[in-house]
Chain A
Amino acid sequence: MSNTIHMSYEVPANDFTRAGEASSSLKSSLKKMGVNPEIVRKVAIAMYEGEINMVIHATGGKIDVVISPEEIEMVLKDQGPGIADIELAMQAGYSTAPDNIRNLGFGAGMGLPNMKKYSDEFNIESTVGVGTTVTMKVKM
């Protein structure tokens, strides 16, 4: 097993004021570790989008990050309502966010597409009524 570090973050339910804390904390650690700025940017955006999704659609969740010299892996796991049609959810502009969320400037339907765009490997598994797990990898 090569040299890795594991970090985990709890994403609180329904607390918009704290959404983004996990990605910004990871961003700060990656910068201190001397990770290439372009990679830091990709990780920060992908993770931020995921974190916001967990707050909007699920009741929070957990993010596990594993950093190795080769890649950064983020696993975002929630016990939310699940996604019925993943293909539809992945389409740019498609959103099920309610009006009160849209009024805050979220819910543009770009969350999942951006997560895919900024990660080198992207996998999503979801079961309605059980929850969603998104795995993203960004190569160093």
Chain B
Amino acid sequence: MGKFFTSVRLKEDLCMGCINCIKRCPTQAIRVRNQKAVITKEFCIDCGECIRICPHHAKEATYDSPEIMKKFEYTVALPAPSLYGQFNHLEDVNIVLTALKKMGFDDVFEVSGAAELVSEMSRKYVAEHKEKWPIISTACPSVVRLIQVRFPNLIEHLLPICAPVDMAASMAKDKAMEKTGLPREKIGIIFISPCPAKMTAVKSPIGIDHSEIDGVLAIKEVYPILLPLMKQSIDDVEELGISGRIGIGWGSTGGEAGSLLTDNYLAADGIENVIKVLEDLEDQKFDQLEFIELNSCAGGCVGGVLTVENPYLAKVKLIRLRKYLPVSRSHLASGVAEENFWTDEVNYEPVFKLGKDMNESIANMSRVEELCEKFPRLDCGSCGAPTCKALAEDIVRGVAKEQDCIHILRDYIHKLSEEMSKLDRLI
């Protein structure tokens, strides 16, 4: 897979070429060209904001269909903790887990179980690496990608531990291989995901060489399948859960940071807020903190675009569900921690550069400033770029022209028609 796989796609026939998505995109990755939105994949961080805002439902996330289960001899479902927040009056996660088996999975492995192990590893890592404070959470793939392309000075603060889903995948695969004797490729590890960014993390992982996840299903597609199966499961619930309060808490904002058992942390959610925190962090405005948890979606993973429930209601449901659970039910066995640190170095990927060297950059930046002076600074979006400045940058990079600005075009036509009438009088 290429370095810049993204899972957000455009359904061209539904796109009206309006300006909603270009205005909402936090990385200015979208332009409207020839009445259709175009996503620049180098800039896209898979936050899903464009999917949320598009009134014509022309943006979609790529994920697998449940049919993918048929490709494997043995399958394991990896439910994200946010899945449990989707159901009304759920008192026992085992009902959901049993229903997943009834759906056709041979086994289930709770991502929240692995999350408890990540919490345990993180507590130790944070305590032992004061020089890297504040340490930034790496569970949200959109945040990690954003830091990689836009906040190079913060890369060294990233927590170099596999995300719970990746840890769950490798543990589930090992467990299944041991249990069935089947080779690796005949076992399908399928993640039930709240967001498209996780799909991207599978196809082009950061910090690790490859992911053991073989397929990703959307919570919103699994949800209607599970509802009737959950009713059927109530009378013969299997004990499949392996997580407690800490693990399930990871499903909404503050859960991961809270699991570090310190109050010296910050937890921010919603991509615009995340960017603000990263900007301030880069200017060293809060170097006293131990840990920073960042989630691209408002509310945390329960706010993912592939979920069905209102994120704040889902959060309440998770709190209720956790209430009588033990603090933690999964604990690190020896040797597990060593295998779940990042193996690959994360490097800065400057996706946006105005020139190949400083001389060219300075010349191009001057041209951008000049163009900005010409534009009306209305940021109307009619040219297809989100702001006048973005249009100026596009022109300098050779992917747009001045007349794309309707105000410049209007003046141009005005001038032309004046000259035409002058000519007319001459004849």
Contacts and interface: CB of A to CB of B under 8 A. Distances in A.
B363 A37 contact: no
Nearest to B286: A105
B152 interface: yes
Given A4-B362, A38-B153, A33 B355 contact: yes
A52 to B, nearest CB: 10
Interface string A17-32: 0001001100101011
Contacts of B237: none
B355 A34 contact: yes
Contact of B352 (A3, A20, A27, A32): A32
A69 B369 CA distance: 18
Contacts of A32: 352-354, 361, 365, 393
B223 interface: no
A63 interface: no
Nearest to B152: A37
Interface residues of A, number: 25
A102 to B, nearest CB: 16
A140 B283 contact: no
A33 B368 CA distance: 11
A5 B369 contact: yes
A135 B353 CA distance: 28
B239 interface: no
Interface string B135-160: 00000000000000010110000000
Contact of A29 (B152, B353, B365): B365
A4 to B, nearest CB: 7
B355 A3 contact: no
B361 A37 contact: no
A40 interface: yes
Interface string B391-426: 001000000000000000000000000000000000
A20 B283 contact: yes
Given A5-B366, A5-B369, A34 B282 contact: no
A67 B362 contact: yes
Given A32-B353, A34-B353, A44 B282 contact: yes
B359 interface: yes
20 contacts: A3-B359, A3-B362, A4-B362, A24-B279, A27-B283, A29-B365, A31-B350, A31-B352, A32-B365, A34-B353, A34-B357, A34-B358, A34-B361, A40-B153, A41-B153, A44-B283, A48-B283, A67-B362, A68-B362, A69-B357
A76 interface: no
Contacts of A24: 279, 283
Contacts of A27: 279, 282-283
A45 B283 CA distance: 5
B5 interface: no
Given A34-B358, A69-B358, 16 more contacts: A3-B359, A3-B362, A24-B279, A24-B283, A32-B354, A33-B365, A34-B354, A35-B358, A37-B348, A38-B153, A41-B282, A45-B284, A68-B362, A69-B357, A69-B359, A140-B358
B371 to A, nearest CB: 14
A34 B362 contact: no
Contacts of B393: 32
A23 B279 CA distance: 11
A67 B355 CA distance: 14
A69 B362 contact: yes
Which 4 residue pairs across A and B have the least CB separation, nearest first? A37-B152, A33-B361, A69-B358, A34-B353
Contacts of B152: 37
A37 B153 contact: yes
A4 B361 CA distance: 10
A76 B239 CA distance: 67
Interface in B332-371: 348, 350, 352-355, 357-359, 361-363, 365-366, 369
A32 B27 CA distance: 13
A140 B282 CA distance: 19
A48 B358 CA distance: 23
Contacts of B282: 27, 41, 44
Nearest to A105: B285
A84 to B, nearest CB: 29
Contact of B362 (A20, A33, A48): A33
B359 A33 contact: no
A45 B366 CA distance: 24
B328 to A, nearest CB: 35
Nearest to A47: B283
Nearest to B353: A34
Contacts of B357: 34, 69
A40 B359 CA distance: 17
Which of the listed residues A5, A29, A48 has the most CB atoms from chain B within 10 Å of its own CB? Answer: A5
B283 A23 contact: yes
Given A4-B362, A5-B369, A69-B358, A31 B283 contact: no
Contacts of B153: 37-38, 40-41
Contacts of A31: 150, 350, 352
Nearest to B393: A32
A67 B366 CA distance: 11
Nearest to A7: B369
Given A3-B363, A24-B279, A67-B362, A33 B369 contact: no
